[in-house]
Structure 1
Amino acid sequence: MTKVRINKFLADSGISSRRKSEEFILQGRVAVNDTVILDFGHQINTDKDIVTLDGEKIKP
């Protein structure tokens, strides 16, 4: 089980920079397991959590 902050996960996935990822999160565009996340410090389990940006699944 690997836990990582949601903003780092998005940045490492190549979606955007960490700063831009934080903007996406604060805009309510990011969800984890169908729940919108507004805290860019939120930790996810990269082995089982499903992360989406604007409804599109993000792969690590």
Structure 2
Amino acid sequence: MSGNEKSQAKGEQAKGKAKEAMGRMVGNERMTAEGRAEKTKGDARQAKEKGKDVFKD
């Protein structure tokens, strides 16, 4: 399950980054903010998974 969570985090980060870039390109602040939020969500998920790995024996 951990591998699935990690890949989901990477996907969210990539999707958020793309959405943020597209929002900047077209000048849509809402899209930019949504992309930034998705990227942050992916970052948080990735940090959580790294924390689990640290405490996993």
Scaled by the length of structure 1, the TM-score of the pair is 0.23
Larger radius of gyration: 2
Higher helix fraction (1 or 2): 2
Scaled by the length of structure 2, the TM-score of the pair is 0.24
